[in-house]
Copies of this chain bind each other. A is one copy, B any other.
Amino acid sequence: MKKYAVIMAGGVGSRFWPRSREKSPKQLLQIVGDSSMISQTVARLEEVTEKENIFIVTNRLQREEIQKQLPGIPHDNIIEEPFGRNTAPCIGLAALFVEKKDKDGVMIVLPADHLIPDKEVFSETLNLGAEYANEVKGLVTIGIPPTRPETGYGYIQIDERKVKENLFKVYTFAEKPNLTTAERFIESGDFLWNSGMFIWRADTILTEMQKLMPELYFDLMNLKPHLSTEKFSSGLQTMYGKIRSISIDYGIMEKSNKVYLIKGKFSWSDVGSWEEVYHLSDKDENGNAVTGDVYLEGTNNSYIYNPGKFTALLGVQDLLVINTPDALLVCKRSMSQDVKKIVDHLKINKKIEYL
């Protein structure tokens, strides 16, 4: 059994404006850790599979930068979507590539922009998950044992009776809860964070799509003969022009009866906002996390990013200050989820130079 990784790298990460832009989205930035999010994601797969078995699904705008950041990935493994249609079409498309290369291939589907410092436990989890996925011919999702009643993540409820060591059947998927519900989830003990990472054989996910998303499956089968031909690009364009935007969770996971869960016992963050980045960063004795040369007075619990320039903060509390060559963000930490509204504003007002 051979393992293939599929890294989904099409997003923009609008909550990371002004650093994230269409051409330099979150996954291509060094936001936490010592290299870009996608570089860390690829480096984490060293004990899982070889670089020639890693596929990246992205778009035209990001391709060049991805090739630059990931020199070991074969160019043919970089799959360009004409535009984003959420995770289900992205995964279906990648399944065609994996199946063509290896009809028994197991694919490990990973977001490009998560933080997982513990490479060893992570690798062990993926390797075990791949064995199980091949064996039970099921859809294996990775659930993270929760450490707090987080309202920013989706949850997965499992049947606690083990199918195998660290393999469980899934009862339900739950959307991002409010705080009371999240606390109840934590107390119950059988809810895990939905990490958005999946492991399955390519033929298993395609068979499930045939059952649960027949229109998408039909389009994928029409496209299949054109893989690696010059008709592929225009065929994909036509297909994406008519398919619905739908997530794999909604389209498959919540409906399939073949869903399993393996617990990922490693620390994990989806790095969903500047507030999360603040929490993940090293801080000084006043709780300030700083990139760049600074003078701070009466300033606490703030995140400052202004590399190569000088920043002075006086009398400032709980603030995010992110400066880029053409745009500056100053945001109360508690409002970091609203950063995406700025991107909406820029789109509506056609200020494309800042997108």
Q: Looking at A297, A315, A330, A335, which has the most chain B CB atoms within 10 Å of its CB?
A: A330
User: Could you tell me if B316 and A331 are in contact, using CB atoms closer than 8 angstroms?
Assistant: yes
- Residues of chain B within 8 A of A310, CB atoms compared: 18, 326-328, 346, 351, 354
Would A309 and B331 be within 8 Å (CB), given that A295-B345, A341-B297, A345-B295 are in contact? Answer: no
Q: How large, as a class, is the contact surface on chain A?
A: 35 or more
Contacting pair B309 A328 (CB below 8 A)? yes
A328 to B338, CA, bound (A): 23
The reply to whether B330 and A18 form a contact with Cβ atoms under 8 Å apart is no
A92 to chain B, nearest CB (A): 37
- Report the separation of the CA atoms of residues A326 and B331 in the bound assembly, to the nearest whole angstrom: 21
A236 within 8 A of B: no
Q: Which residues of B contact A293 (CB under 8 A)?
A: 351
1/0 per position for A332-353, CB-CB distance to B under 8 A? 1011001101100110000100
A312 touches B331 (CB 8 A): yes
Interface of A is mostly: strand
Query: A329 at interface (Cβ–Cβ under 8 A)?
Result: yes
State whether the Cβ of A313 lies closer than 8 Å to any Cβ in chain B: yes
A295 → chain B closest CB, angstroms: 5
A311 interface hit (Cβ, 8 Å): yes
Taken together, the copies of this chain in the complex come to: 2
Look across to chain B and name the residue whose beta carbon is closest to the beta carbon of A344. Answer: B295
A321 at the interface (CB under 8 A from B): yes
Is A298 part of the binding interface, using a Cβ–Cβ cutoff of 8 Å?
Answer: yes
The answer to whether A332 touches B309, judged by C-beta atoms less than 8 angstroms apart, is no
A289 at the interface (CB under 8 A from B): no
Chain B residue nearest in CB terms to A294: B328
Listed A/B pairs (25) with beta-carbon separation below 8 Å: A17-B312, A18-B310, A295-B346, A297-B335, A297-B338, A297-B341, A310-B326, A310-B328, A310-B354, A311-B328, A312-B327, A312-B329, A312-B331, A313-B329, A314-B330, A314-B331, A314-B335, A314-B338, A315-B331, A315-B334, A315-B335, A316-B319, A316-B332, A323-B323, A330-B330
Other than A297-B341, A314-B332, give 18 A-B pairs with Cβ distance below 8 A. A17-B312, A295-B345, A295-B346, A309-B327, A309-B328, A310-B326, A310-B346, A310-B354, A311-B328, A312-B328, A312-B330, A312-B331, A313-B329, A314-B329, A314-B330, A314-B338, A315-B335, A328-B328
Q: CB within 8 Å of B: which residues of A?
A: 17-18, 293, 295, 297-298, 306, 309-316, 319, 321, 323, 326-332, 334-335, 338-339, 341-342, 345-346, 351, 354
